[in-house]
Structure 1
Amino acid sequence: MSGRRVAVTGIGVIAPGGVGRDAFWECITAGRTATRAITFFDTDGFRCRIAAEADFDPVAAGLTPQEVRRMDRATQFGVVTAGEALRDSGLSPADLRPERTAVTVGNAVGCTMGLEREYTVVSDGGRKWLVDHEYAVPHIYDYFTPSSMAREVAWATGAEGPAAVVSSGCTSGIDALGYAAEQILDGRADVVMAGSTEAPISPITVACFDAIRATSTTNDDPAQACRPFDNDRNGLVLGEGAAMFVLEEASAARRRGARVYCEIGGYATRANAFHMTGLKPDGREMAEAIRVALDRARVAPQDVDYVNAHGSGTRQNDRHETAAVKASLGEHARRTPMSGIKSMVGHSLGAIGSIEIAACALAIDNDVVPPTANLHTPDPECDLDYVPLTAREHRTDVALSVGSGFGGFQSAIVVTAPRGGAA
């Protein structure tokens, strides 16, 4: 199947500060932060009481009351963004060959909100060790199995090809797109509904991040809490959301006259085999993932126009990926804009990698790179061009997006402007 290429022809996004692809792009290019006090539950007693929540109404988004009851919030995000992506591509389920259409969904923490809510009910607020299943909703099993997300997207789009969930922590959103692209390159599918979704803002998730002291405690000024590459940063801010894409074999997309946002050029992932949450300061494994992704895309380091940083807002991550970009791009790293959109939309764990790839695709489409918000006092050990505060017009034909996840996962993906000629 050599010669096949992967085109992105549809994009759907739900993110804090912008529900829908266009609203998301307007939010991040305006440099507007969407972090606020958590409204989903009572945060009294929690160390971190802020997050980036999406203003999402499932009924307004077109879901029926039965679908809302059946699906966890993360699954709702996935189905709605898949629908937006499919409409954006100009395709409908009737246009697809079901057996040649696949689904790949990235996710890190499963149907957290639905599962925690229902456990509270069946345990009577945690007071009963022996829970009473008669109080559970009929679909509680779906909340327990992340595969329900891929199933619902497949049902909604009529896909009958391979359907899978990719769960590799905070790199899931990159890894899902990489895996999906490989299905097209290998000839296993002609169209893949691919992306990731996450709705983790629940007491159990916030408590877990409190326990490892990874989240920001700037509770009195939520908009300034996430500060990637800033010397005054004090942790990440949780978020939620989803991004789904229509990936097509490039020559088929061109034949039907599809609008192509970009192509998935190359992807690679590595593990550092080092520590659950710690990172080696030299960024060697991330640098290796970048080098392999560039090689697979047949892109030289000096051709990279924009780097979408992991940019979580923790000191060790910021310094780790700065070192990785320097090691992989060489002197070109100092001439390349690099920004972190988590400063605006938070860290949505398994979803953020796909949301950041959406930002890369739109950067290529608009020749604009989004900024790093809240970057006022640069960390002297982070000395690259992080596009502080304000978006920048910048010709972007090649974008590199990187991710780093608990457990030592390091992933990189290269997206390029659409290429003409034979695929």
Structure 2
Amino acid sequence: MRGRRVVITGIEVLAPGGIGAKSFWSLLSEGRTATRGITFFDPAPFRSRVAAEIDFDPEEHGLRPQEIRRMDRAAQFAVVAARGAVEDSGIELDELDPYRIGVTIGSAVGATMGLDDEYRVVSDGGRLDLVDHHYAVPHLYNHLVPSSFATEVAWAVGAEGPSTVVSTGCTSGIDSVGHAVELIREGTADVVIAGSSDAPISPITMACFDAIKATTPRHDEPERASRPFDNTRNGFVLGEGAAVFVLEELESARRRGAHIYAEIAGYATRSNAYHMTGLRPDGLEMAEAIRVALDEARMDPTEIDYINAHGSGTKQNDRHETAAFKKSLGDHAYRTPVSSIKSMVGHSLGAIGSIEIAASALAMEHNVVPPTANLQTPDPECDLDYVPVTARDQLTDAVLSVGSGFGGFQSAIVLARPERSPA
């Protein structure tokens, strides 16, 4: 059921190489990469030693010392992005009924950096078998429960309506926005601050991905380490970041003269019920999510002008996606430009889905398709138009963005210009 139509009226992004939506778009449109050798800790013991880090000073972005002490890095990202999205939208939240303002924040791994840091302290660098809790920060519990992310954002914007954290692995950033859309469509909320945040670049996360050899060991040229759809790829590059949106009902946005980036016309999620990390090569579950999202949007596959791919840079994922696009879009898949921004900003786990939605909306805003950086030697099994190296001018009225997550999650979301999407 479509119900009320939902649009994006505010965007803020914190991404490697580009804090703020304008800087983020500049990075993407210029095809620059923000992957580098890890600087947050000594990466020498690890197989993969590259990441896409953000040069982020919380004080420079308006966080008070008490907030910095209380919040994990990912929560700080979420709050800064939420405030920026509200400012971008021009909406006066204090003039609205606070019970009609909701929050949905996605995160795959929660306060990983905070927990990692605090364990190091209470265990005296890992030397104590029985940790000493007296050395923990007073707000350690907030690091344990990801729900604190939604709480912090709700406090920051004065939202007293439904407040939720969505944690579905690497599709969290799409699913949190999809959930927010449903809250508005069904009439539970009029405005929702929605998005996702993750800051997973820590020793424990690197060790986890090392164990399954999912991340790249390409250390000699970190700026070219992330190579989605390239035949020389050998794993993804871990990243961090956040993107948050102001979502509101279309007619309300029009009445207040808001700038509308895009309508969220359709959304769907499916599970492959198959394997924790494995994917079937036929891409059937992702194709089904795409089909349902297009049906909800009341759009034909031929109306899609651009696909923002999950494009993690693993052979399994890239081939799975390619099959899903062919299955869901038919011959139109061969005529549709596709790209992966993970080639430039890495894979920020639960945050990346929202960051990719931001990229999709900005692609529509500028009628430019961002490139897949580092795509020099295409995988012959990935034979679609993956827009290598350089951005492309492209009239873009409708975008499909997809995500694939450990556990079998497959999600798809369709953005369209409101005047194009059926009422």
Q: Is the structural similarity TM-score above 0.5? A: yes
What secondary structure sits across from 2:169 in the alignment?
Answer: coil
- Answering whether residue 177 of structure 2 is matched by residue 188 of structure 1, we say no
Residue pair 1:270, 1:410 contacting (<8 A) in 2 also: yes
- Answering whether residue 75 of structure 2 is matched by residue 80 of structure 1, we say no
Residue pair 2:174, 2:412 contacting (<8 A) in 1 also: yes
Distance 1:380 1:122, change over 3 A: same
What secondary structure sits across from 2:82 in the alignment?
Answer: helix
What do residues 182-237 of structure 1 show as CA deviations (whole Å, max 9, x unaligned)? 00000000000000000000000000000000000111100110100000000000
2:304 aligns with 304
Residue pair 1:103, 1:159 contacting (<8 A) in 2 also: yes
- Answering whether residue 154 of structure 2 is matched by residue 154 of structure 1, we say yes
2:37 aligns with 37
- Answering whether residue 235 of structure 2 is matched by residue 223 of structure 1, we say no
What secondary structure sits across from 2:226 in the alignment?
Answer: coil
Residue pair 1:251, 1:422 contacting (<8 A) in 2 also: no
Partner amino acid for 2:295? D
Structure 1 residue 262: Cα displacement: 0.2
- Answering whether residue 317 of structure 2 is matched by residue 317 of structure 1, we say yes
What secondary structure sits across from 2:170 in the alignment?
Answer: coil
What secondary structure sits across from 2:59 in the alignment?
Answer: coil
Structure 1 residue 96: Cα displacement: 2.8
Cα distance in 2 for partners of 1:20, 1:170 equals 22
Residue pair 1:35, 1:52 contacting (<8 A) in 2 also: yes
What secondary structure sits across from 2:197 in the alignment?
Answer: strand
2:172 aligns with 172
TM superposition score normalised by structure 1:
0.99
2:238 aligns with 238
Structure 1 residue 98: Cα displacement: 0.4
How do residues 71-110 of structure 1 correspond to structure 2 at under 5 angstroms? 71-110=71-110
Cα distance in 2 for partners of 1:134, 1:317 equals 44
2:112 aligns with 112
What secondary structure sits across from 1:46 in the alignment?
Answer: coil
Q: CA RMSD in A?
A: 1.2
Distance 1:90 1:44, change over 3 A: same
Cα distance in 1 for partners of 2:363, 2:147 equals 31
What do residues 236-282 of structure 1 show as CA deviations (whole Å, max 9, x unaligned)? 00000000000001110111110000010010000001111110000
Cα distance in 2 for partners of 1:44, 1:93 equals 47
Distance 1:210 1:152, change over 3 A: same
Distance 1:336 1:249, change over 3 A: same
Aligned length: 423
Distance 1:421 1:334, change over 3 A: closer
2:415 aligns with 415
Residue pair 2:37, 2:49 contacting (<8 A) in 1 also: yes
Residue pair 1:103, 1:192 contacting (<8 A) in 2 also: yes
What secondary structure sits across from 1:194 in the alignment?
Answer: strand
Distance 1:310 1:2, change over 3 A: closer
Cα distance in 2 for partners of 1:317, 1:90 equals 39
Partner amino acid for 2:192? V
Cα distance in 1 for partners of 2:2, 2:12 equals 29
What secondary structure sits across from 1:138 in the alignment?
Answer: coil
What secondary structure sits across from 1:85 in the alignment?
Answer: helix
How do residues 358-377 of structure 1 correspond to structure 2 at under 5 angstroms? 358-377=358-377
What secondary structure sits across from 2:28 in the alignment?
Answer: helix
What secondary structure sits across from 1:44 in the alignment?
Answer: coil
Cα distance in 2 for partners of 1:2, 1:314 equals 35
Residue pair 1:261, 1:418 contacting (<8 A) in 2 also: no
Partner amino acid for 1:165? V
Structure 1 residue 133: Cα displacement: 1.0
Partner amino acid for 2:76? Q
Structure 1 residue 95: Cα displacement: 2.8
Distance 1:422 1:266, change over 3 A: closer
Cα distance in 2 for partners of 1:420, 1:387 equals 25
Cα distance in 2 for partners of 1:257, 1:152 equals 29
Structure 1 residue 23: Cα displacement: 0.3
How do residues 330-409 of structure 1 correspond to structure 2 at under 5 angstroms? 330-409=330-409
Residue pair 2:283, 2:320 contacting (<8 A) in 1 also: yes
1:25 aligns with 25
How do residues 217-296 of structure 1 correspond to structure 2 at under 5 angstroms? 217-296=217-296
Cα distance in 1 for partners of 2:276, 2:282 equals 17
Which 5+ residue runs of structure 2 have no aligned equivalent? none
Residue pair 1:236, 1:346 contacting (<8 A) in 2 also: yes
Distance 1:420 1:278, change over 3 A: closer
Partner amino acid for 2:309? A
Cα distance in 1 for partners of 2:174, 2:282 equals 22
Distance 1:213 1:148, change over 3 A: same
How do residues 59-74 of structure 1 correspond to structure 2 at under 5 angstroms? 59-74=59-74
Point out 4+ residue stretches in structure 1 off by more than 2 angstroms. 418-423
Partner amino acid for 1:314? T
What secondary structure sits across from 1:60 in the alignment?
Answer: helix
Cα distance in 2 for partners of 1:258, 1:337 equals 30
Partner amino acid for 1:229? F
Partner amino acid for 1:146? P
Cα distance in 2 for partners of 1:301, 1:315 equals 25
Distance 1:238 1:420, change over 3 A: closer
Residue pair 2:297, 2:421 contacting (<8 A) in 1 also: no
State, as a whole percentage, how many aligned pairs show the same letter: 69
More displaced stretch, 123-132 vs 282-291 = 123-132
Residue pair 2:299, 2:421 contacting (<8 A) in 1 also: no
What secondary structure sits across from 1:278 in the alignment?
Answer: coil
Cα distance in 2 for partners of 1:420, 1:215 equals 40
